[in-house]
Structure 1
Amino acid sequence: MSRYIVEITYCTQCRWLLRAAWLAQELLTTFEQDLYSVALRPGTGGIFEVRLNDELIFSRKEAGRFPEAKEIKQLVRDKVDPDRHLGHSDKTTTEN
C-alpha cells in the first residue's frame, strides 16, 4: 500500500479553497493508485503550499506565483514513480 501523503495548505482569507481543491482533484486523478491521501489544510496570510510526506515541494511565497497543475504532477511523480510517463503533462525538452 502506498504511503504518500500530499498536503495542500491554502489561505482561507484569500478564498483559495477552490484552487486547492482543483489541484487535489488533479493529483488524485493522476496518482489514484499511488497516493494514500490528499489533505486540504486551511491557513492564513496568503499561504499556498504543497507538501509530499511533510517535504515542501512548492511554495507560492517562494516561487512568487501559483503552481501549474502539470508542474506539481511532475514534482510528485519524481518522488513517487520517477519512471512514470505523464502523457501531455510531462515536460518537453528542446535543444537550441
Structure 2
Amino acid sequence: MDEASDDAIPSRPTRPRVAITYCTQCQWLLRAAWMAQELLSTFRDDLGEVALRPATGGVFAIELEGETIWERVRDGGFPDVKTLKQRVRDRLDPSRDLGHVDRAAHRS
C-alpha cells in the first residue's frame, strides 16, 4: 500500500501535547488514565495528544508541551481534577471559562 494513499490522516496544525508520567510499581495507571480522559473531554478541540508514560520510583508528573504543570512530590500529592483543568487552561487559553469548575473556585 502506498504511503501517500487517500487513507492518510490529513495534516492539521500542531496542537499541544500533555504527558502524564505515572509509577507502575505504585499502580497509578488508572489514576493517570482517568486524568487523561478528563483532559481530553474538557479540551477535546485544543489538545493534540495526551500520552501515558509508565515509569517507576513513585513518580507522578504531568507536563504540557514539556513544562511540568504538576509533580506529585513538589506539589504535595495528586491534583484534583479542578486544579489540573485550571492549570491546563491557564496555559492554553487563560480567558476560557471552565463553567462549573471556575464558579466553584470563585465561591471560596
Q: State the TM-score, normalizing by the size of structure 1.
A: 0.93
The code of the aligned residue for 1:68 comes to D
The code of the aligned residue for 2:75 comes to A
5+ long unaligned stretches in structure 2: 1-12
Q: Which residue of structure 2 lines up, in the alignment, with residue 42 of structure 1?
A: 54
Equivalent residue for 2:63, pick from 51, 56, 61:
51
RMSD (CA atoms)? 1.1
Q: Deviations over 1:53-79 (max 9, x none)?
A: 000000001112110011010000001
Q: Which residue of structure 2 lines up, in the alignment, with residue 61 of structure 1?
A: 73
Q: Which residue of structure 2 lines up, in the alignment, with residue 12 of structure 1?
A: 24
Q: Which residue of structure 2 lines up, in the alignment, with residue 92 of structure 1?
A: 106
Cα distance, 1:72–1:2 mapped onto 2, change above 3 Å? farther
- Aligned identity (percent) is 57
Count of aligned pairs between the two proteins: 94
5+ long unaligned stretches in structure 1: none
- Give runs of ≥4 in structure 1 deviating > 6 Å: none
Does the residue aligned with 1:84 lie in a helix, a strand or coil?
coil
Give the CA deviation at 1:93: 5.6
Q: Which residue of structure 1 lines up, in the alignment, with residue 5 of structure 2?
A: none
- Greater RCO (Cα-Cα under 8 Å, separation 6 or more): 1
Greater strand share, 1 or 2? 1
Q: 2 CA distance for matches of 1:2 and 1:88?
A: 29
